[in-house]
Amino acid sequence: MSNAVSVLNGASFSGLVKVADSGLGGMITLRGDHASATLQAVVKSVTGAEVPAIRKITFGAAGAVAWMTPDELLLLVDYAEVDAVVAKLSEALAGEHHLAVNVSDARACFSVEGEAASEVIAKVAPVDLAPGKFVAGDFRRTRFSQIAAAFWLDEAGVYHVVCFRSVGEYMFNLLKTAAHPQSKVGVYA
Amino acid sequence: MSTRLAKQGRLIDRSKQVEFSFNGTKLKGFAGDTLASALLANDQMLVGRSFKYHRPRGLVASGSEEPNALVGLGVGDRFEPNQRATTTELFSGLSAVSQNHWPSLNYDIGELNSKFFSRFLTAGFYYKMFIHPRPLWKHVYEPFIRQSAGLGKAPNKELKDADTYEHFYFFADVLVIGGGVAGLQAAKTAAASGAKVLLLEEKSYWGGRTPVDGGTIEGLEAEAWVEKTLNELNAMDNVTIRNRTMASGVYDHGYVLGYERLTDHAPGQGGPRHRLWRIRASQVVTATGAIERPLSFAGNDVPGVMLAASMRDYLVNWGVTPGKKVVVATNNDDAYRTAIALHEAGVEIVRLVDARESGGGELADKARELGIRVECGRAIAKVKDGKRVTKVAICAQNGEGGAREEIEADAVAMSGGWSPVVHLWSHCGGKLIWDEAQAHFRPDPERAPTSHDGNAFVVTAGSASGPLSLSAVMADAAAAGAKAAEAAGRPAQSVAAVETSEVSEAPMEAVWFMPAKADIQLRMKTWLDYQNDVKVSDVQLAAREGYESVEHTKRYTTLGMATDQGKLSNINGLAVLADSLGAEIPQVGTTTFRPPYHPISMGAIGGEARGEIFQPLRKTPMYEWHDKNGADWEPVGHWRRPFTYLRPGESKHDAVNREVKNTRENLGLLDASTLGKLIVKGPDAGKFLDMLYTNMMSTLKPGKCRYGLMCSENGFLSDDGVVARIDDDTWLCHTTTGGADRIHAHMEEWLQTEWWDWKVYVANVTEQLAQVAVVGPNARKVLEKLNAQAGGGMDLSKEALGFMEWKDGEIGGFKARAYRISFSGELSYEIAVAASEGQAFWDALMEAGKEFGVMPYGTECLHILRAEKGFIMIGDETDGTVIPQDLGLHWALSKKKEDYIGKRAQQRSYMDNPERWQLVGLETVDGSVLPDGAYAVGQGVNANGQKNTIGRVTSTYYSANLDRGIAMGLVKHGPKRMGEVIDFPGLDGKIYKAKIVDPVFYDKEGEKQNV
């Protein structure tokens, strides 16, 4: 919808890495039994992806699915499709205890791209980002300095970071600071 | 005098001269110098004044153990006090000033004072002297003591640190701390197993002190071996090495802080100044070396008296000699190396006194061969006081200091033996064992710091383990590296013995006093702790006064409490205490070693958190609009909410009153996005909410809203808000702004720990929605206008959407959920739209509302409107001690329900008690505004002679609508005392008289919200 604006409206910064507001993405919190065949089937049908294992994200033709807790998944789909997907989930899971809710607008999303991306993130998140330790398809809920965040690495080597919308500006400024051109650590890149 | 020699100085580049200043005087050094070596090269023996007695002090050591040479470094926004000259690399333009002197370093008033008064300034003097009379402490003693004591000056509070800082998280199998030969060997051995190794060295150069001390490793001179090993490590993918990075502390579960100094040696080059490495290591190897101990003789603090090995460092590393005529005093063989090195460099060794009757070994023989006059069983009786060494009195070690021979000298090298650096081993609980032969505490490998699984996670390597000979050091280091790798889960490689060569040494002999039976006059001039001015006599006094515990003695005398944390004084102080108590040293024990090993900057600890990212601010989707339209911000948790919207030239008071009147008369908009919104769904959701809220939520019909209260299990009111039933098994619970995360966690806790088998899911959707309260007589008109403009939308008439109902649909083309709820008593809608569309929706309302007199309003207006209606506010009327019954909210407490959280607590005798203060309205007799938080006083006085209190103000405002002050408060027997006037003494001395009234001041019948 033309009225909808992401938190930093597409802002970007280039330093040690390129940090950019990824714009609006569709996100759905789905709580339910990961082992349920119905749940697995509907997740697959709306995203094309399998239910991921712990600390993983899986990708499909129409979206991605991230592991949040033992009974919670985060579905990433097209922003315009969210309501339709929530409706499909609710319909398919009507017979099971579950909760599917649109959280697309509650989030700010950023991409962190470049050779030094691991090092930049390792300045603010207590995660082992040494080569081979955090690989494409890994997903982590953690903190970025003072705020809650989640991130994953895609096949192209780009990190994707998600936080709450209200602190999106803090996240962008934090990543900008960590990506200051003269602050290279030089252990991974 | 101290001077630069024509030769030697392996670390300096004589082709690169560097200019710097000390106390304003321009001086010259070379690239590779430390500030300390450069000062010595310029014959600057005097570097500071002592803490208590203002005695002249010079350099004692060459590394981070240096207690005296603390300077104020840099200027303006880069000024930093208490920087060690020995760990400060020289750079062009460096500006240093000495500390703790007045009016100048050379001439100090404090020193004169202490000469007259020093016999009074013994241990515990301050405690004994300044305790009576009490009032004098604050007004006389404390200001005086603060003036005369203290180290560096605080930086100018008007200036902000010009530099930036950052953190870095790193994970390793094996962390090796210390880049001396032991650390290098341990890292090499560990890395060979394939383990991921991080090696840290605090200095800019590698190899520790072995290149100074000599010996060969694998057939190579130490310096060549260091270079070769460093190259090997650098070539390995699994090894990361960092110099200028000090491990400052070892914490639980292999967490270690590394302090990397990136630009201290080249300020202003850009990028962060310090980087704090936050390391998780499976295993930690501490290869931290050993520190030489001073000898305790009178005048051992006179500038020019230096640790023997440090003197050798200055000579070999920087080509500097602290004197031309040097006396060496020792109880071990190592100091002979200094004598020999100085002699070979052309410095005269006027005497070498060896406290051991039997003297030294091979090195002693060599010294004699070189013609150095060596005297065994002899000691220094006293070094003559002054700003530098001039005369040294020699006597027999085994005596009281009589029959002295006085000789002229300009420097003294002393060595009292070596102590392993056990700090990092001890930080996390590693225990020590007394080594009689070396007279030092060394790590006890049987009692290492343990991790979560009970297994050791720290191992020492090299002289940090105790051994001092090169062969033993290298063997220990290789074993430590292998042990750490294995413990980290890497199959150990077989460790080949490292081939070394060195000279053999005769055993050292413990010497705690020099001479052994020094009289009181000498002991009062014998320093243990240079930085805090603690003498042998002070520790002895503490022992006489009954301080038997080493920890108590430490605090009473301040021994080891300075910024060097007693690196030099620890063992000597313990030995003196043990001697005074007639106990063995191991029985006395040591004090506790705590991080940091060496002070680190506050900037590094704060990391990137400064300026715009000092703290995360939570911003609603309309934040920028508010900011551009005069918002006066109020912090609400991490959120920022507009307190009021100031127009040009308007006071806050006027702005609030304008908003208050306009909202009642026309149309007000409130950004209510910060209110918590929790979705609660599942077959057991109704049952769950009935337990959480005091009133009934399971009976709420879909499409309806109900106001609810939540209490803690102790019965106290915790949160409130409107609950909307969405469908059969879904509810949406509004919480207060501050309650969103807290109540979400509260729900999850009950679901996860108590009612884990109930089928309920909760999701916090607070930030998904932008919520706008559209309030005032024109509220419906503006929304209907938006719908008309969009060519349709939800029916918002009284009939279609009644009070306390909600509906989904479109408003002005926006997908919206509308709630007919009112916190102001006016006709009011709260409209929720997607957060991403919040600003667009707000803009549409502002535009369409023009003709209806729209104005945004802030939190203060919100407060006043609710207070006019007698609505309570969590955090004002409640403070964690208030129950719903206190607030007259009995109607919201279900009598039908068997239980809810807090119910049983509310039945306790103290809760169910008519004596509790109750909520009432308060109207001042003269219409003025009651002071916030004021207490009402009643008859009589309490046990402390204070007037008895009978109530307090919880909310108080000026109501522009009523043109008078209105307030709510909790008053004893309040509701039964309607019409009574009670007294509220203000802090201004005035007694405010207020009448007890009904808390609803405005529209008592509630007609206005129900139109």
Main-chain phi, psi angles of B672, to 5 degrees? -105, 20
B-chain residue closest to A101, CA distance: B763
Token pair in block for residue B12: 């300096």
**pLDDT, tens digit only, all 189 positions of chain A:** 468 899 888 899 999 999 999 999 999 999 999 999 999 999 999 999 999 999 999 999 999 999 999 999 999 999 999 999 999 999 999 999 999 999 999 999 999 999 999 999 999 999 999 999 999 999 999 999 999 999 999 999 999 999 999 999 999 999 999 999 999 999 987
Look at A166 and B620 and tell me if their CB atoms are within 8 Å: yes
Polymer length in residues for chain B: 1011
Contacts of A170 in chain B (CB under 8 A): 613, 616-617
Provide the shortest C-alpha distance from residue A109 to chain B (in Å).
Answer: 13
Q: How confident is the model at residue B148 (pLDDT cuts 50, 70, 90)?
A: low
Residue of A nearest to B260 (CA): A185
> In sequence order, what are the residues at sequence separation of 6 or more whose Cβ sits closer than 8 angstroms to the Cβ of residue B159?
B76, B77, B79
Give CA–CA dist B315/B340, Å, rounded. 11
d(CA B856, CA B645): 7
Evaluate if residue B673 carries a pLDDT over 60: yes
3-state SS class at B981: strand
Instruction: Name the residue facing B166 among A99, A123, A166 (closest C-beta).
Output: A123
Does the pTM surpass 0.90? The reply is yes
CA distance B544 to chain A (A): 51
pLDDT digits (tens, 9 = 90+) for B230-244: 999 999 999 999 999
- Mind telling me how many Å the CA of A150 is from chain B's nearest CA? 16
Q: Do B767 and A165 touch (CB under 8 A)?
A: yes
Chain A residues within an 8 Å CB radius of B681: 99
- Give pLDDT tens digits for B173-187: 999 999 999 999 999
CA distance A42 to chain B (A): 19
Judged by DSSP in three states, B966 sits in: strand
Q: Tell me which of A10 and B170 has the higher pLDDT.
A: B170
- Measured CA to CA, the distance from residue B4 to residue B37 in angstroms comes to 9
pLDDT at position A1, please? 45
The two tokens of residue B941 are 């006085």
H-helix segments, A56-180: 82-92, 117-122, 168-178
How far apart (Å, rounded) are the C-alpha atoms in residues B143 and B127?
16
Q: Do the chains contact at B682 and A4, CB–CB below 8 Å?
A: no
Longest Cα–Cα distance of chain A, Å, equals 57
B298: which 2 tokens? 């009178």
CA B351 distance to own-chain centroid: 49
Q: By the 8 A CB rule, do B9 and B320 touch? A: yes
pLDDT of residue B483: 95
List, for residues B430-479, the tens digit of each pLDDT value.
999 999 999 999 999 999 999 999 999 999 999 999 999 999 999 999 99
- In angstroms, rounded to a whole number, what is the distance separating the alpha carbons of residues A34 and A66? 12
Of B618, B839, B841, the CB nearest to A166: B618
Give the pLDDT mean for B272-281.
98
Which of B272, B608, B759 has the CB atom closest to A145's CB atom? Answer: B608
Under an 8 A CB cutoff, do B769 and A105 touch?
Answer: yes
Residue numbers of B between 5 and 24 with CB closer than 8 Å to A: none
CA atoms in the 13 A half-sphere facing the CB of B260 = 23
List of chain A residues whose C-beta atoms are within 8 Å of the C-beta of residue B763: 29, 31, 99, 101, 103
Q: With 70 as the cut, is the pLDDT of residue B118 above it?
A: no
Encoded tokens for B618: 């939570």
Which residues, numbered 807 to 846 in chain B, qualify as contacts with chain A under a Cβ-Cβ cut-off of 8 Å? 814, 834-837, 839-841
Weakest-pLDDT range from B11-20, B582-591, B876-885, B964-973: B582-591
Contact (CB<8Å) B765/A24: no
Q: Can you name the CATH fold of A12-23+106-181?
A: Gyrase A; domain 2 (3.30.1360)
- Does residue B877 carry a pLDDT above 80? yes
Give the model confidence (pLDDT) of B889-901 as tens digits: 999 999 999 999 9
Q: What is the mean pLDDT of residues B803-826?
A: 96
Q: Which positions in chain B touch A129 (Cβ < 8 Å)?
A: 169
Chain B residues touching A5 at Cβ < 8 A: 621, 836-837, 839-840
**What phi, psi does B626 have (nearest 5°)?**
-55, -45
Q: Which of the four pLDDT bands, split at 50, 70 and 90, describes residue B268? A: confident
Interface test with B, best of A123, A129, A134, A151 (most B CBs within 10 A): A123
B interface test, pick of A3, A39, A104, A129 with most B CB neighbours within 10 Å: A3
| Distance of residue A142 Cα from the nearest chain B Cα, in angstroms | 13
Taking alpha carbons only, the member of B36, B510, B589 closest to residue B293 is B510
A-chain residue closest to B281, CA distance: A128
Owner of token pair 């052309």: B346
Distance (Å) of CA B442 to CA B423, B447, B587? 10, 11, 15
Q: For position B49, what pLDDT does the model report?
A: 85
Out of B164, B270, B839, the one facing A5 most closely (by C-beta) is: B839
For an interface test with A, the pick among B274, B638, B767, B808 (most A C-beta atoms closer than 10 Å) comes out as B767
Asked if B841 lies within 8 A of A123 by C-beta distance, the reply is: no
User: Is residue B773's pLDDT more than 80?
Assistant: yes
Q: Span A26-104: which CATH code?
A: 3.30.70.1520
Report residue B787: phi and psi, to 5°. Answer: -65, -40
> Rounded to whole angstroms, how far apart are CA atoms B643 and B622?
14
Looking at the complex, report in whole angstroms how far the Cα of residue B438 sits from the nearest Cα belonging to chain A: 40
pLDDT in tens, B489-532: 997 666 677 888 888 899 999 999 999 999 989 998 999 999 88
Alpha-helical regions (H) of B162-243: 181-192, 210-213, 222-234
Residues of B in contact with A32 (CB under 8 A): 761
pLDDT in tens, B63-81: 999 999 999 999 999 999 9
pLDDT band at B1 (very low <50, low <70, confident <90, very high): confident
Mean pLDDT across chain B: 94
User: Which amino acid would we find at residue B806?
Assistant: W
Inter-chain CB proximity B620 and A183 less than 8 Å: no
Q: Residues of chain B with pLDDT > 70: what percent? A: 97
Cβ distance A103 to B768 less than 8 Å, yes or no, reads: yes
Q: Sheet with B13-22: list strands edge to edge.
A: B25-31, B13-22, B94-98, B70-73, B80-84
What is the per-residue pLDDT across B338-380, written as a single tens digit (0 to 9) for each? 999 999 999 999 999 999 999 999 999 999 999 999 999 999 9
Q: Is the pLDDT of residue B120 over 70?
A: no
Q: Is the dihedral of CA A178, A181, A182, A185 positive or negative?
A: positive
Confidence band, pLDDT 50/70/90 cuts, at residue B110:
low
B617 to A185: CB separation less than 8 angstroms, yes or no: no
The verdict on a CB contact (< 8 Å) between A104 and B169 is: no
Query: Structural domain boundaries of chain A?
Result: 12-23+106-181, 26-104
Higher pLDDT, A31 or B151: A31
Do residue A126 and residue B169 have CB atoms under 8 angstroms apart?
A: yes
What type of residue sits at position B412? V
pLDDT digits (tens, 9 = 90+) for B206-259: 999 999 999 999 999 999 999 999 999 999 999 999 999 999 999 999 999 999
For B:312-351, CB contacts with A below 8 A are none
Domain A12-23+106-181 identical in fold to domain A26-104 = no
Does the beta-carbon distance from A106 to B765 stay under 8 Å?
Answer: yes
Give the pLDDT of residue B51: 78
